[in-house]
Structure 1
Amino acid sequence: HTWRTRFFTDFVFLIVPLVATLTILSSFVLLEHLAVIILGAGLFYQIYCRRTCCARMPVQKILEKFLKIGLESEYVPAISCFRVINSAFTAIAILAVDFPLFPRRFAKTELYGTGAMDFGVGGFIFGTAMVCPEVRRKYTDGSRFYYLTKSLYSVWPLVFLGVGRLVIIKSIGYQEHLTEYGVHWNFFFTLIVVKLLTSLLLSIFPLNKSWIMAISIIVLYQLALDFTPLKRLILYGTDGSGTRIGLLNANREGIISTWGYVAIHMAGVQTGSYMLKKRSHVKDWVKGTYHILLTAISLFISLYIVQVNVEVVSRRMANLAFCIWIIASSLILLSSLLLCDIILSFAKFLIKGAIVPCSWKPIQLSATNKKHSESLVSEAERKEPSLCLITAMNRNQLIFFLLSNITT
């Protein structure tokens, strides 16, 4: 296939449904999901009826055999799809929010509450954390000082993007909501601070303790909001009248809310570390998906308790409820994508040689011939179809995010 064909395919199946969901089908979201489930179930039934593998075997035996096969574990399609879906959704929403067809309930909230666009920035932080260098063990050699130096050097593209966006937005007089980040601050500056703080924390504490750091940071931050003048400073400035005089007052929302995003990043690091843990069989991924889904449900229960007894969700402050909401929603989306990938892998297992985009490659593991198993992995990699738009968005998220803000 040519790149035009791949681009058109990606656009039709990735962009068009998101545009429709955020506009003309916004009042029928549940019906849309039901239609997709019914269509998927129908297609899967057709695949099952035409299966070439285990044609005369009962369903229970087929499932038992499928759970024992191996999957390519170094590449997790769900993480890439999570990042691409969040980026595409954010770009579409940034453009659509200026049109009457876009429902106001999807727009960013001013102080309290949740909107679909509020998830965009938090989901971006979470998705980036899942594939950060620490999770991928990119800097395993050298001292902590060397590691911190590499992290410091790696933020220069963010500095360039942040300053570039600031200059462009101010020069064209683009309308901004000061209560989002402040006068000069923007999301790229938040990414810089989050990157530096989390790199420092991960150079001190073990990677597998990231969840402890996430809980500690957000709980301490919420206590500071409740028992110190910090919340009043965010909402009304140092003089209590909403002044924007001075660097802190001008950018107080962006500067102070960074602590909430640091907690979200650390939770993403823990999730990414769990996702990239070596799993050799389908049953291991089923178990992992179950654990992620169970964690998400537990977090939503915690969110209800926090909103009733502490404070409701506030994107402006990035408070405890906001962080729980972002993490829980991210885990729900991630577990759904994992479940879809498992189902797609099952479809590929039933029909040998089928090409299923964004899905694992089933591998027949051999206990007596390890080299044979490895050769199957490399062969699967060579046959992997090229996903034009998905690959480009996954590899260039920062540039894509900047262009989405400027061009829309």
Structure 2
Amino acid sequence: MDLSEKELKEAFVSNLNGTTLQEVAVGSFLTPLCILNRALILILHHRAKGRLPLPFPRISHLLLDFSALVLPLVLSCTVLSDVLLQVVLSFTFVLSCALCRICRPACRRTTLSAFLDRTVHFKQVPFVTVFRVMVNVQTAISILAVDFRVFPRRYAKTEMYGTGVMDFGVGAFVLANGLVCPEARGRNVPASKMKHISKQLLSVWPLVVLGAARLVFVKTSSYQEHVTEYGVHWNFFFTLAIVRVLTSMLLVVVPARKSWLLCLLICGVYQYTLETTGLKAFIMHNEDRGKDFLHANKEGLFSIAGYVAIYMAGVQIGCYVMQPRSRVRDWLRAVFNLLMATLLLFAALCTCQTFVEPVSRRLANLPFCLWSVAQSLLFLSCIALVDLIVLFSQAASGCSFVPSAWSSKSDGRKKRDEMERLCLLQAVSRNQLLFFLLSNVLTGLTNSLVSTLSCGGSFSVCVLLTYMFINSAAVYVLHLCGMTIKCW
């Protein structure tokens, strides 16, 4: 790739203004619908067992999961992006008809109160796992898709202000890490606080190494750079590492269940500083990049404050979601509370956008933090609600288990273990960092081999599907072999 093509690619991802809050919200409904679609396919197959055998189960389950969970997401951000609302509405109608077909016999013999009093069984909260996996999957799709013309420019990261789909992806990725951190899961901080902090410092070395490797690759090749994203030398790997270390230090002092106070304090102080000092103008303008490290990487360094606040919000949500619950009724109440929190946060966001300033990923300002948390909560709540629908469908059909979903029966452990072993969601969950790393490596490789700006729509989609299938198959094979790649 020569210099002129590099400059063309940099211009292609620069000076963008994003899309509307409504379009991003509509996109959040597609993933839960995909999860429901996959579950209903498995339930209908269960009802047709004996008449509809599933040959080569390992390959069949991979192809089913890829077709149901990944393929629609690739199409929705490429060739179907202009009719996304119609896709969501049509998908909802079809799945509603399938649900009625499955659940109608059970409605006559099962009362609502009996279903709400059922006890659910799980090792991990299923919808939390699915949320984290699907954020990772959508991130993997976007980081390559953004380089193709078939990917709408309004979905890409914004330059100064605005709400792009990829902007949400960054915030959701940070919140997802906070959601399942040890503090959110109720693990006690060791008596030696310094030892705990030292352990956290050591635990982020893979992120530091990955960030350094990306930096070396970008600087020694003709790969495109978007310096207003994080800076000249900074990247998202460094941000993730610093955020994890800083939040670990803060959570040594402040209990995890009070992390919402830290979130509000950090957001408030940072936004006040932006408004009352020259910091906002300093970050937004591109002069003096070569003066020193601070000037060169001001976006990445100062946005850490916003990402720490988002991480703390994730910790608070994790503390609430991880509370012990066993009955369907309790989980339904929890989902309702998450939806109410979502509405409050969106109301606060609209107020901030009216009286303070618009959302800015570049600043990671207060509106960006509010939007990231609100949109993530909406996404999480929809997945949780779908999980409850799947649970009812299982009860109605007599299918006792769908992978990565709740189960209301304690028997059939061997069958459930086998189904989890064939589940793509569990495969990605098992090696999430590897999946993220592999996505970045293949993105760079694809850009080196393919002139992405010259590709037509159909060819671009084929490249994206091939890329995602390689990512998915790699972690799927590792999962089948029982291997977790973790060296820290």
TM value normalised by structure 1: 0.90
1: CA distance, partners of 2:176 / 2:245: 17
What residue number does 2:232 align with?
183
What aligned pairs does 1:270-289 form with structure 2 within 5 A after superposition? 270-289=316-335
Unaligned runs of 5+ in 1: 364-374
Are 1:7 and 2:7 an aligned pair? Answer: no
Return the offset for 1:83.
1.4
Return the offset for 1:391.
2.1
Question: CA, structure 1 residues 388+64, in 2 after alignment: closer, same or farther (shift >3 Å)?
Answer: closer
Return the offset for 1:307.
0.4
SS in 2 for 1:391: helix
What aligned pairs does 1:70-219 form with structure 2 within 5 A after superposition? 70-72=119-121, 74-219=123-268
Return the offset for 1:316.
0.3
What residue number does 2:383 align with?
337
What aligned pairs does 1:361-380 form with structure 2 within 5 A after superposition? 361-363=407-409, 376=411
Return the offset for 1:142.
3.5
Return the offset for 1:351.
2.4
What residue number does 2:482 align with?
none
Question: CA, structure 1 residues 243+338, in 2 after alignment: closer, same or farther (shift >3 Å)?
Answer: same
1: CA distance, partners of 2:137 / 2:437: 12
8 Å contact 1:74–1:278 — kept in the other structure?
Answer: no
8 Å contact 2:288–2:296 — kept in the other structure?
Answer: no
Q: Which amino acid aligns with 1:327?
A: V
SS in 2 for 1:101: coil
SS in 1 for 2:421: coil
What residue number does 2:115 align with?
66
SS in 1 for 2:162: coil
What aligned pairs does 1:275-314 form with structure 2 within 5 A after superposition? 275-314=321-360
Are 1:386 and 2:435 an aligned pair? Answer: no
SS in 1 for 2:111: helix
Return the offset for 1:137.
3.5
Question: CA, structure 1 residues 56+10, in 2 after alignment: closer, same or farther (shift >3 Å)?
Answer: closer
SS in 2 for 1:196: helix
Question: CA, structure 1 residues 139+161, in 2 after alignment: closer, same or farther (shift >3 Å)?
Answer: farther
8 Å contact 2:420–2:426 — kept in the other structure?
Answer: no
Return the offset for 1:387.
4.2
TM value normalised by structure 2: 0.76
8 Å contact 2:390–2:405 — kept in the other structure?
Answer: yes
What residue number does 1:29 align with?
84
Q: Which amino acid aligns with 1:91?
A: A
What residue number does 1:246 align with?
292
Return the offset for 1:26.
0.4
2: CA distance, partners of 1:268 / 1:254: 20
1: CA distance, partners of 2:104 / 2:159: 52
Q: Which amino acid aligns with 2:271?
A: Q
- Higher mean alpha-carbon deviation, 110-119 vs 390-399, is at 390-399
8 Å contact 1:122–1:261 — kept in the other structure?
Answer: yes
Return the offset for 1:381.
5.1
Q: Which residue of 439, 444, 448 maps to 1:404?
A: 439
Q: Which amino acid aligns with 1:48?
A: C
Unaligned runs of 5+ in 2: 1-55, 444-488
Taking every aligned residue pair, what percent have the same amino acid on both sides?
44
Return the offset for 1:399.
2.8
Question: CA, structure 1 residues 310+40, in 2 after alignment: closer, same or farther (shift >3 Å)?
Answer: same
Q: Which amino acid aligns with 1:67?
A: L
What residue number does 1:255 align with?
301
* RMSD, matched Cα: 1.9
8 Å contact 1:73–1:280 — kept in the other structure?
Answer: no
Return the offset for 1:348.
1.0
2: CA distance, partners of 1:329 / 1:132: 20
Q: Which amino acid aligns with 1:40?
A: L
Q: How many residues align?
A: 388
2: CA distance, partners of 1:223 / 1:377: 56
2: CA distance, partners of 1:406 / 1:138: 34
Question: CA, structure 1 residues 387+245, in 2 after alignment: closer, same or farther (shift >3 Å)?
Answer: farther
Are 1:40 and 2:95 an aligned pair? Answer: yes
8 Å contact 1:139–1:147 — kept in the other structure?
Answer: no
Return the offset for 1:200.
0.5
1: CA distance, partners of 2:412 / 2:312: 32
Deviations 1:147-197 (A, max 9, x none): 212211111111111111111222222111100000110001001110111
8 Å contact 2:400–2:407 — kept in the other structure?
Answer: no
Q: Which residue of 430, 437, 448 maps to 1:395?
A: 430
8 Å contact 2:79–2:150 — kept in the other structure?
Answer: yes
- Higher mean alpha-carbon deviation, 124-133 vs 138-147, is at 138-147
Return the offset for 1:85.
1.5
Q: Which amino acid aligns with 1:304?
A: C
2: CA distance, partners of 1:28 / 1:82: 24
2: CA distance, partners of 1:246 / 1:320: 27
Return the offset for 1:343.
0.3
8 Å contact 1:72–1:377 — kept in the other structure?
Answer: no
1: CA distance, partners of 2:122 / 2:257: 19
